[in-house]
Amino acid sequence: MILDMFSLSGKVAVVTGSDTGLGQGISKAFVEAGAKVLGVSRCASTATQEMLGEENFQFVIADLSTLDPVETIINTAVEKFGRLDILVNNAGIIKREDSIDFSVENWDSVMNINCRTLFFLSQAAARQFIKQESGGKIISIASMLSYQGGIRVPSYTASKSAVKGITMTMANEWAKYGINVNAIAPGYMATNNTQALRADAERSEAILERIPAGRWGTPDDLMGTAVFLASSASDYVNGFTLAVDGGWLAR
């Protein structure tokens, strides 16, 4: 039956940035679809665990600005839940500064988490999928700035454009192992990440005016797309960055 294709029953997922925002929403979606989730964040994902239950959601605290935790994350998922089927690269940061003054620190910190760790965590997950001979799903959270330039966010734009690019590279190389690599490009979503923008009445109004759907997105708006890309319903979807943006890119 068609709805069975969307079930994640028996699947095990790693979701980075699971303590809040979009990663918390994706973790909730996966558990509701039947998966077990290992969350990874720089702080404890206690609220997410309380929401989803210890039997469904476990977490590790890890700093993804370096590659040090990569192997441990994959091994912990396998130790706790017996296997790995899905990786969601959601953890990410943004730094705002005029490009003319942009610092090396603001460049490196963003590229390290949003791009470097994302690639090597994907590589580690793919190696686990290949070892299991199970196939698997890798979903990265990209951005409108995978498609557009933005202003005052050069490292964020570079990182998210890279996410779209390497999503295609990884998909090309790993499709033969039954691994689907795709990305989701959220529009303007109401999370901590956009707190300052939403607090700025002028910017907020300008943004809202340009969104055909006429509202900010919420973590719940990503749930269906995330489950689709994590499930066998998307087995023939490879290397695509799918916008969930209330129509922003269509303008």
Report the distance separating Cα 112 and Cα 125, nearest Å.
18
Please list the residues that pair with 183 across neighbouring strands.
140, 241
Q: Alpha-carbon distance 75 to 64, whole Å?
A: 16
User: Which residues are CB-contacts of 143 (< 8 A; sequence separation ≥ 6)?
Assistant: 156, 160, 163, 185, 186
21 scored as a contact of ligand NAD (CB under 6 A): yes
- Which amino acid appears at position 113 of this protein? I
72 burial type by CB count under 10 A (0-12 exposed, 13-18 middle, 19+ buried): middle
The answer to the question of residue 90 lying near ligand NAD (CB under 6 A) is: yes
Give the residue among 69, 248, 78, 241 at the shortest CA–CA distance from 166. 241
Residue type, 161: S
CB of 236 to ligand NAD, least distance (A): 25
Q: How many CB atoms lie within 10 A of CB 5?
A: 12
Q: Is 246 in the site for ligand NAD (CB under 6 A)?
A: no
Measured from the CB of residue 237, what is the shortest distance to ligand NAD in angstroms? 20
156 is catalytic: yes
Mark 187-206 with x for binding to ligand NAD (rule: CB under 6 A) and - for no binding.
-xx-xxxx------------
Q: Is the Cβ of residue 4 or residue 63 nearer to ligand NAD in the bound state?
A: 63
Site string for ligand NAD, 101-140 (x = CB under 6 A): ------------x---------------------------
242 token code pair: 């799918």
User: Residue 5 Cβ, how far from ligand NAD at the closest point, in Å?
Assistant: 26
Site membership for ligand NAD, residue 244 (CB under 6 A): no
Least distance from C-beta 25 to ligand NAD, angstroms?
Answer: 8
Q: Is residue 42 within the footprint of ligand NAD (CB under 6 A)?
A: yes
Q: Binding residues for ligand NAD, per CB under 6 A?
A: 17, 19-23, 41-43, 62-65, 90-93, 113, 141, 143, 186, 188-189, 191-194
Active site residues: 156
